[in-house]
């Protein structure tokens, strides 16, 4: 009986410490961007923003179409690359066309635990 009590105590301590470590690791996952708004005024204009992440992330937007086999996508008049990743990454956004009317598009960056938005503003000339 004494041996069973010791085994149970050791098992309980092991479970407690391993579950705490897993929780600490999950809580340390981060996601942030260095810019929350990008403004474009002319065709072929390109700018970057940085994603800082301790894990995997992906970019989505209403109407975003990805390219098969490459890590980039198009949404309306914009090309975005890359659209998925792991860790810290520079994202390139290019306005492909002149726009007849100004409009905004929200990019949603989703990590394991967080979600952020970067607004793309296309300004008509």
Instruction: Express each pLDDT in 77-88 by its tens digit.
Output: 999 999 999 999
13, pLDDT greater than 70: no
- Two tokens at 37? 């708004």
Please give the sequence-ordered ranges of beta strands (E in DSSP) within 6-102, or none if there are none.
31-33, 37-40, 46-53, 56-60, 65-66, 73-75, 78-81, 84-86, 89-95
Quick: pLDDT tens for 40-78. Answer: 999 999 999 999 999 999 999 999 999 878 899 999 999
Work out the average pLDDT over 9-25: 54
Residue ranges of alpha helices (H) inside 2-115 are 2-27
* Number of domains present in the structure of the chain: 1
CATH number of the CATH domain containing 42: 2.60.40.10
DSSP 3-state of 7: helix
pLDDT score recorded for residue 125: 82
Q: Per the domain annotation, does 11 fall within a domain?
A: no
Q: Per the domain annotation, does 79 fall within a domain?
A: yes
Q: Per the domain annotation, does 55 fall within a domain?
A: yes
Work out the average pLDDT over 95-119: 96
**pTM (global) more than 0.95:** no
Q: Per the domain annotation, does 84 fall within a domain?
A: yes
Q: Per the domain annotation, does 5 fall within a domain?
A: no
Q: Per the domain annotation, does 60 fall within a domain?
A: yes
Domain range for 54 is 31-122
């Amino acid at each position: 009986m004494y041996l069973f009590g010791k085994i149970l105590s050791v098992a309980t301590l092991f479970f407690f410490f391993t579950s705490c470590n897993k929780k600490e690791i999950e809580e340390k996952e981060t996601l942030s961007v260095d810019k929350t708004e990008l403004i474009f005024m002319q065709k072929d204009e390109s700018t970057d923003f940085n994603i800082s992440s301790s894990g995997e992330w992906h970019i989505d937007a209403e109407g975003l179409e990805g390219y098969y086999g490459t890590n980039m996508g198009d949404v309306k008049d914009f090309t975005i690359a890359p659209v998925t990743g792991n860790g810290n990454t520079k994202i390139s956004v290019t306005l492909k066309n002149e726009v007849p009317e100004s409009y905004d598009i929200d990019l949603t960056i989703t990590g394991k635990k967080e979600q952020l938005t970067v607004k793309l503003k296309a300004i008509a000339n």
